[in-house]
Amino acid sequence: MKVLTSGRPVARRDESAGHPVWCAGGHHCTFGRMPAGQHASIPEVWVTDLARLVATRYRDERGRDRVELRVVLKLDNDERSAEDQARLLLAGTYAGLRHVLVDGGGAEAPW
Ligand SMILES: [Zn+2]
């Protein structure tokens, strides 16, 4: 696995301006500049043997945090197989989330 970016801003944010320490600022952050604006981190990108994973953290105007995870996976050329792969990705992602977040994971996180 190769980590392309850490998800942390390269320069320290001015927290007195209301940005959390992890906010990337600049064009990433729309807080206070757009309706429903939000703080946003630099995406953290992992290139793995199976797929590229991209995680971005957000904080909305009400202070609620969330993370968006994108999985970039090459699909099979056969349409039926591609559809099956996409559905398996959804089901597997759900099962992984449930295992880690609800069932406790059964192991310590690798970080
Ligand atoms: Zn911000």
Q: How far does residue 3's CA lie from ligand 1's centre (Å)?
A: 23
pTM score of the predicted model: 0.77
Is 51 exposed, middle or buried, given 0-12, 13-18 or 19+ CB atoms closer than 10 A? middle
Domain boundaries, the chain: 2-74, 76-111
Phi-psi region of 96 (alpha: psi -120 to 50; beta: other; left: phi over 0): alpha
pLDDT at 1: 83
**Residue type at 6?**
S
- What six digits make up the tokens of 68? 């968006």
Interval 91-110: pLDDT, tens: 999 999 999 888 876 666 55
Three-class SS of residue 8?
coil
> Tokens 């959390």 label which residue?
20
Q: How far does residue 6's CA lie from ligand 1's centre (Å)?
A: 17
Residues with CB under 5 A from ligand 1 (ion): 19, 23, 29, 31, 39
- Residues in the chain, pLDDT under 70: 9-16, 105-111
